Amino acid sequence: MAAPASGQGKTTITAALAHLLHSRGKRVQVFKCGPDFLDPTWLALASGQPVDNLDLAMCGRVDVERRLALATEHNDVVLIEGVMGLFDGARSAADIAALWNLPILLVIDSSSMAETFGAVAFGLANYRPGLRIAGVLANRVASERHSELLRKSMPVDVPWLGQVMRQQKEQAPIPSRHLGLVAADEMGDGLARIAQVAESLAQSDLGRLEWSQWQQRWSAELSAPSELAPTRLLEGRRIAIARDAAFRFIYPANIAFLREQGATLQFFSPLAGDALPECDALWLPGGYPELHAETLVACQPLAEAIRQHWQADKPIWAECGGMLALMQELHWPSKALRTPLLGVIPGVVTQHDRLRGLGMQAWQSPWGMLRGHGFHYSTCDTSLPVVGHTQRLLDEDRVDAATQLESVYAQGSLRMSYFHAWFASNSVAAARLFLN
């Protein structure tokens, strides 16, 4: 599922298609290209299954291939939502499609466009020879007359798969804010929003295809998944994980990794007033602490429990928003806001209205290179020692050694950074975050 650019409606259409197929009794597995915590919440809601990320640098080719192969073994349909435009980035959605000869369904926003639609479709289909183009779906179509103009503009060698009609602006299926889409579980009517688009999609040429036509046109062959050497690096470890609206940026694959390594996971909600569970290690993931600062500052019993955990030399991995929540104060100049945070560590968070960190990166940890990404609007000022920096990730085996991106801080058993780690990229390094 690809498009000429971001904002074309890929997530909405992918979710709607997953919902439509799921409602027809098909088992659907959805993946998201690139590092993303928010789009997958909608794709998971639509498909009824957790959504993993695929990125040739962050995950690595072997990891991507294994996840795809496992998905094809256990599902009727596998959908992959691309990232940005089809050819954007050093490791684009087109690269993933080409490696495994996957059919590409092009989603094009037809707003403010008529016959030029065909030129855009032609360019996408012919820019890189050898890609397997399944067809084109027009999104945000204004009327049946508009749809007819679009259809007539199509090049003869690119299949027309129909249209999805434009929703009213106030009924936008998936709203956005800073850092991306509003997560599906924050919308009480999230599934109804997806179903509304799926209803329109069901009337398209794509939606009316019989299952036998899907199998005939778009089947793909992937090798059997490779067997991983079993490791149980976290056997018997109890890991407490904060998980709620303030700590929500968690890859399902990272949760699966911890369990595969033998850890027992105990989730708790700081916003709900939960106490810190009895645990050997603590993970504070990223999220939106800046939107919940007033609630967090009231969690002083939890703050004290985290201090005691730290003083007892038990590991803490605080990632992006999890790191920010531990600091003393949030300053948000554009909102004229100053408010305390948990206050476990010295430091001030400043929230900005523009991105301050974005990109694929890797941390050369004491136990090997751990790959991941960064994405944040804030900056932080803390006196904790800096023990390293992440570097720009060029591909799964190479970094730009001249770059220094995110600081990695450490003091005692606490490690923290803006860096979001993909645990499976280095099992030993990831496990060591939770070991003494």
Q: Please give the radius of gyration of the chain, using alpha carbons only, rounded to the nearest integer.
A: 23
Q: How far is CA 260 from the centre of its chain?
A: 21
- Write the CB contacts of 169 (distance below 8 Å, at least 6 apart in sequence): none
Residue 410: Cβ-neighbour burial (10 angstroms; 0-12, 13-18, 19+): middle
Burial of 118 (0-12, 13-18, 19+ CB in 10 A): buried
Q: Could you give the 3-state DSSP secondary structure of residue 33? A: strand
Catalytic residues: 320
Question: What is the CB neighbour count within 10 angstroms for residue 325?
Answer: 31
233 CB-near residues (< 8 Å, 6+ apart): 261, 262, 427, 428, 431, 435
How far, in whole angstroms, is CA 370 from its chain's centroid?
Answer: 18
What is the three-state SS of 363-395?
A: EEECCEEEEEEEEECEEEECCCCEEEEEEEEEE
Contact 161, 136 (CB under 8 A): yes
264 burial level (CB within 10 Å; 0-12, 13-18, 19+): middle
**Cα 332 to Cα 294: distance, rounded to the nearest angstrom:** 13
d(CA 373, CA 417): 11
Q: Enter the DSSP assignment of 290.
A: G
Name the one residue in this structure whose structure tokens are 């998905």. Answer: 71
Looking up tokens 């009337």 gives 203
Q: State how far the Cα of 199 lies from the Cα of 213, in Å rounded to an integer.
A: 20
Hey, what amino acid is at 59? C
